[in-house]
Amino acid sequence: MIKIQCTCDFCNQSFLREKKQFYKKRKNIFCSIECSNQYYNKAVITECGHCKKTVIKKLTEYKSSKSGMVFCNHSCSATYNNTHKSKGTRVSKLEIFLREEITKEYAQLDIRYNEKNAINSELDIYIPSLKLAFELNGIFHYEPIYGSDKLEKIQNNDNRKMQACLEQNIELCIIDTSSLSYFKKDKALKYYQIVKNLVDAKLPGLGSNQRPFR
């Protein structure tokens, strides 16, 4: 009988365990059932990685986070991930670029990104004072990249957003970004110009031709 020296993941005490009791997919090891139960039920008090509110999460959830952070809700998680990706899809890079440029250009406006409260569904860009919103729709909104069923769900969700915006008297502009095969600033500027033209047209006393495009 071969035994291996181990360290309990909960109490950190050393103990011996038979080699045959190990299996490849096992991530944690404990010296007793009591330690196992306490580990999986233990709570960690920390702060949301985006809004910094205090949150209580299970230790297992806290340790399994790839970013090393936990969030109080899906909205905070999505907002953080969209603005901190070093690599990822072309749409997320475009969103980051637009967020930076729009925020600089319209510092006087309350501009919300990945907003869910307005229509109980996420809007990529929303300006409450202008009742104006933007959705950046990539190729997944138009072609069955992951199958026809997935495309149908995405398009149904798009239709629900449009209807919800109509009910709340929000003007929703759908920007088709499916032709952007990879992110490049000079290609992204045309999408920024679309947003800028519509925002300028909505601002009181400011025509779309009065604010120079940088």
Query: Distance of CA 137 to CAs 67, 157, 175, Å?
Result: 26, 12, 6
Residue 74 in 3-state DSSP?
helix
Do 30 and 39 form a contact (C-beta atoms < 8 A)?
A: yes
Residues 6+ apart with CB under 8 A from 120: 164
Do 83 and 99 form a contact (C-beta atoms < 8 A)?
A: yes
User: What is the residue-wise DSSP string for 114-145?
Assistant: EE-TTTTS-EEEEEGGGTEEEEEE-GGGTS-T
pLDDT digit string, tens, across residues 48-106: 887 888 887 777 677 677 667 788 876 677 666 655 554 444 446 889 999 999 999 99
| Measured distance CA(211)–CA(109) in Å, rounded | 15
The confidence score (pLDDT) of residue 34 equals 84
| Bridge partners, residue 44, by sequence | 57
Do 57 and 77 form a contact (C-beta atoms < 8 A)?
A: no
Instruction: Return the H-helix or E-strand segment holding 16.
Output: strand 14-18
Do 98 and 78 form a contact (C-beta atoms < 8 A)?
A: no
- Selecting from 3.40.50.460, 3.40.50.2300, 3.40.50.150, 3.40.960.10, what CATH number does the domain 85-202 have? 3.40.960.10
Q: Where exactly are the structural domains of the chain? A: 1-39, 85-202
Do 88 and 179 form a contact (C-beta atoms < 8 A)?
A: no
Instruction: Return the H-helix or E-strand segment holding 187.
Output: helix 185-202
The confidence score (pLDDT) of residue 81 equals 65
Residue 112 in 3-state DSSP?
strand
| Measured distance CA(171)–CA(197) in Å, rounded | 14
| Bridge partners, residue 123, by sequence | 115
- Per the listing, tokens 């952007």 go with 180
| Measured distance CA(111)–CA(129) in Å, rounded | 9
User: What's the token pair of residue 13?
Assistant: 């005490």
The confidence score (pLDDT) of residue 207 equals 44
For the chain (214 residues), the mean pLDDT of every run of 10, in chain order, is 82 82 66 83 80 79 71 72 50 84 94 91 95 94 88 94 96 93 89 96 63 37
User: What's the token pair of residue 111?
Assistant: 């501009």
